[in-house]
Each structure stands twice: as C-alpha cells, then as structure tokens.
C-alpha cells in the first residue's frame, strides 16, 4: 500500500479528504504529530509525537458507520499482538482496563470516499489531567515500542477486517459483539441532549446499540456510552 508519511499536519483526516480523489483505495496518511487532531463530536484529540495518528482512504460502496468497527477490531488485534488485552467501547473507542487507548473517527462523502481515522496512544505520554481516563501502550508495557512495527501490524489487521466487512459483515459484527465489553452492563448513553440510562443488551447488525430502558427496548444509533 501507499503510505504518505508526514512530520506534522493539522489532521491526517483532513489531509486524507483533500487527496482522496487522486489516490487509490487503501492509501494511508500518517503523521508524527498533529496540530489540530480531531475527535468525535467536534472534540480535539491531543496528538503529540510518539503516538500513531493515521487515516486510511477507503472507497467502499457507501459511507458506513460500521467502518469504525473495522478500525476498532484491528486495534484490538494489534494490541493483542503486543500482549495487551483490550475491548471495544461502543461505538468506536478501544479501552484497556477501564481507560481509553484508542479512538476512531470515520468521515466520508457519499459515493466518493470514506476516511478511517485512527488514533492510538503508543509511546506518547498521557497528560496528567487525562490519566484517569486514558492510557498508552508504553505505560502498560513499561518500555518504548517500535512505532513502525505497531503501524505495520495495524495495517495488516485493517486489511483483514476490511475484507471481512466487505464480504461477510455478519462475521465482523459477531466479532464486535464478542469484543464489546459493555454488553449486559448498566450504562448511561448520551445521545444529543438526552441522557439515557439502561442496560446495554446487544450490538445489532447495522452497528446500533440495543438497550433495555426499564423494560422498554430502544435502539441507539450514535452516542457516548459510560458504565454506570
């Protein structure tokens, strides 16, 4: 695959969008640091040197929110390769022992391209104010990791899960269910202005979260989940 390596960029997702038309599917944009890294819901994403900040340009038949799971499963497998057991926090975070290690941001233009942006805390130190909720691989393992091999493992797993997504989305979703650690647990979901309290029951085939809210079933398509 073609990998565009940058020292510094505002956001690899923005860069990827700008070149999406000119490059083949699978092109990867990776930067040592981002000066305007972005997260979901307009949040910013701290991206100092040492982390893995990358975006993959994909051209699937349509922009599909389940692409985030392709990223999340690839991250989970990559972490497993380095001896770290991780789970998916619906819809698109990867957590290790109660702390976030990776975030995924999918953006796209219908009929044109999808950008799968992945931020993975590898060797970057976590600022004190985020310590309670975030972790990086170096903290878990205790020594510096070769960023390049972390990236290569990730690209390999992305390739595998993207194929599964295209050919057998049911298998992708089965794996997502297996790795989603909030299922069966009491959670709070923030969807828009609403705070929904209930039990997370299942991740449905379209990627939405099925919740039990005091005996009523409800499907949530997008939101922020926390364990109660």
In the complex, which residues of this chain contact ligand BTN (CB under 6 A)? 11-13, 34, 37-40, 43, 45, 47, 53-55, 93, 103-105, 117-119
Closest approach of Cβ 54 to ligand BTN, in Å? 6
Closest approach of Cβ 14 to ligand BTN, in Å? 7
Distances (CA, A) of 42 to 33, 39, 105: 19, 6, 11
Identity of the residue, 72 or 200, whose beta carbon is nearer to ligand BTN in the bound complex: 72
Closest approach of Cβ 152 to ligand BTN, in Å? 17
Identity of the residue, 45 or 113, whose beta carbon is nearer to ligand BTN in the bound complex: 45
Distances (CA, A) of 148 to 28, 49, 109: 13, 13, 30
Sheet holding 113-120, edge to edge: 3-9, 28-34, 52-58, 113-120, 99-109, 93-96, 87-89
* Contact yes or no for 116/22 (Cβ under 8 A): no
Strand partners, 29: 4, 55
In 3-state terms the chain splits into helix, strand, coil percentages (rounded to 5) of 30, 35, 35
Tokens of 25: 């599917």
Closest approach of Cβ 86 to ligand BTN, in Å? 14
Closest approach of Cβ 186 to ligand BTN, in Å? 23
When CB distances to ligand BTN are compared, the closest residue is: 103
Identity of the residue, 168 or 226, whose beta carbon is nearer to ligand BTN in the bound complex: 226
Tokens of 179: 């790795």
Closest approach of Cβ 44 to ligand BTN, in Å? 9
* 189 φ, ψ (degrees, to nearest 5): -115, 130
Identity of the residue, 55 or 78, whose beta carbon is nearer to ligand BTN in the bound complex: 55
Identity of the residue, 64 or 93, whose beta carbon is nearer to ligand BTN in the bound complex: 93
Identity of the residue, 43 or 219, whose beta carbon is nearer to ligand BTN in the bound complex: 43
């Amino acid at each position: 695959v073609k990998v565009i390596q940058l020292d510094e960029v505002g956001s690899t997702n923005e860069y990827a969008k700008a070149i999406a038309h000119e490059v083949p599917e699978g092109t990867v944009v990776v930067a040592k640091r981002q000066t305007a890294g972005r997260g979901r819901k307009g949040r910013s994403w701290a991206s100092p040197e040492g982390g893995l900040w990358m975006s993959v340009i994909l051209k699937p038949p349509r922009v599909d929110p389940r692409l985030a799971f392709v990223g999340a499963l690839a991250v989970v497998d990559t972490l497993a390769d380095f001896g770290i057991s991780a789970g998916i926090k619906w819809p698109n975070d990867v957590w290790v022992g109660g702390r976030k290690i990776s975030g995924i941001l999918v953006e796209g233009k219908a009929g044109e391209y999808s950008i799968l942006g992945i931020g993975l805390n590898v060797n970057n130190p976590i600022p004190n104010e985020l310590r309670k909720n975030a972790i990086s691989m170096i903290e878990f393992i205790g020594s510096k990791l070769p960023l390049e091999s972390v990236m290569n493992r990730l690209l390999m797993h992305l390739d595998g899960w993207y194929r599964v997504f295209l050919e057998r989305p049911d298998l992708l979703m089965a794996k997502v269910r297996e790795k989603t650690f909030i299922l069966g647990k009491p959670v709070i979901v923030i969807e828009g202005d609403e705070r929904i309290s209930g039990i997370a029951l299942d991740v449905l085939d379209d990627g939405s979260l099925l919740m039990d809210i005091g005996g009523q079933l409800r499907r949530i398509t997008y939101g922020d989940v926390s364990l109660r």
